[in-house]
Structure 1
């Protein structure tokens, strides 16, 4: 069986975090739903974000996104209605890949992977130029093939930990990650939130670091420079993930480049 193993994909992710750290900041990781608000404008928005991003997270539209809040849910519904399927998402990423060396990550639930077929999905992702997968609903201890296939095709894997994760769970999840560790700032779904308290995030980041040398990025609830600074500086995270704020900006016809500049400034340590 022919493989497309390219360890450089995993290294490209690690190098992006190292470069950001060398510049005295957390890595800036914007998120955009593939095909939103339509396929053409998605490519334009992604190109704008890629001018500032250290890594770009691309959401694969899915009909039952249990971990996503209403903003990203609506974006996914609109993208699906506009014809953005799993395979079309990979084609869109393939169109972006020649334009950038920034790591491109797919955030996907596990059902679309199995709908295509795990090995076929990994093959298509590797051919499209994907560097890694973020899998919010796959418990690593219940995975008997995804990790092996990702490694075979040279793709990094990222799983999530939350404030409710026990030390044993954090140890298990971090051991399964090969790209970075994704720490969610709150228990619940994605979305912009009010307030400025970090709660248990600093402790969660510190706990993850007891079990892994991989970068730890924090997402859910980051909306502006102030909240990005809380994550980057006060929680000492290696990366700041921003999703719903960009989806909302696109829906209002606002300049995503200006918002990205503001958030990037907030990533300073």
Structure 2
């Protein structure tokens, strides 16, 4: 088997060469409706997101803050089906050459069938999965099928994780390690938690290749601060709010504004 070349990792490395690091943008599929969510994802890529993270709406979103929960509930109420994720990826990839990860809780993947889900994801042009509620030691089937199909597996690292668990996450992950900046749910924070910097340092000690920080990043300044120690910054709530309040046009403007943080002068080290 040829070694898997991660489009996600390549995009992050390119962003690091050209700027200070990558911007990864999150939006749920089907919000406010399927067509608009496709247009929104395309606009996000065209406005400065290096990697797209498309959320699969789920009825029990344990990690999501209120704004994202409301958006995913609306998508579900509008009749969201898992097949819409693959349709959205196909349509977005036809318009922009930006890697797309699907953020999904594990239950919908299991219900759909792990191999079936992975094959349809690959066929649609998706790059892999971000799986917030499954750990590498419980993901043998997903690890095997993702290796077979060349899909990225993005696992989460939290400040509460032991060094042993961080090492396991680093070894099992491809693309980047999703570095959780604070304990708790997603949303905006006035200040990024110092725990994110310390966690990234611990991941570096475990040999992490690429670490991207998420949860609580909502401004260009916070992106710039995160890229002082991490390889990428993940923004979700601020983009979902912009789409909700002002449609695709407001979203595009917000992405441009926050993406400016990837080009900010580096802080002295």
Q: Confirm or deny: 8 A CA contact 2:13 2:21 kept in the other structure.
A: no
Is it true that 1:174 corresponds to 2:167 in the alignment? no
Matched, 1:217 2:209: no
Q: Which of 138, 150, 155 is the matching residue for 2:151?
A: 155
- The alpha-carbon deviation at position 90 of structure 1 amounts to 1.2
Tell me the residue number matched to 1:252: 245
Is 1:137 paired with 2:133? yes
- From 231, 241, 252, the counterpart of 2:234: 241
How big is the shift at 1:164? 1.1
* Unmatched runs of 5 consecutive residues or more in structure 2: none
1:7 Cα deviation after fit: 5.9
> In structure 2, what is the Cα distance between the partners aligned to 1:64 and 1:98?
31
C-alpha contact (below 8 Å) 1:69/1:189 kept by paired residues: yes
Distance in 2 (CA, whole Å) between partners of 1:189 and 1:215 is 23
Secondary structure at 2:166 match in 1: helix
From 60, 65, 71, give the equivalent of 2:67.
71
Distance 1:7 1:111 in 2: 29
- Number of aligned pairs? 261
Q: Which moved more, 1:182-191 or 1:82-91?
A: 82-91
Residue 129 (structure 1) shift: 0.5
**Cα offsets for 1:141-168 (capped at 9, x unmatched):** 1222110011111101000011111111
SS at match of 2:26: strand
Aligned position for 1:122: 118
| 1:62 counterpart SS class | coil
Corresponding position of 2:257:
262
Q: Give unmatched runs, 5+ long, in structure 1.
A: none
Post-superposition CA distance 1:195-233 (Å, at most 9, x none): x24321111111111223421000101111121122112
Q: In the alignment, is residue 97 of structure 1 matched against residue 55 of structure 2? A: no
Q: Assess, with a 3 A threshold, how the Cα gap between structure 1 residues 197 and 48 changes in structure 2: closer, same or farther.
A: closer
Indicate the SS of the match to 1:106: strand
Q: CA RMSD of the aligned region, Å?
A: 1.5
Q: What is the CA distance between 1:261 and its match in structure 2?
A: 1.2
Partners in 1 of 2:125 and 2:108 — Cα distance?
Answer: 18
Partner of 2:186, secondary structure, is: coil
Query: Structure 1: how far apart are the matches of 2:28 and 2:193?
Result: 26
Q: Contact 1:6–1:153 (CA<8 Å) still a contact in 2?
A: no
Partner of 1:111: 107
Deviations 1:18-72 (A, max 9, x none): 1111113110101000011111111111111011111000000111111111111
Per the TM alignment, residue 11 of structure 1 is displaced from its structure 2 partner at its CA by 2.5
Aligned CA distance change for structure 1 residues 156 and 6 (closer, same or farther; 3 Å): farther
TM-score, normalised relative to structure 2? 0.93
Cα distance in 1 between the residues matched to 2:192 and 2:186: 16
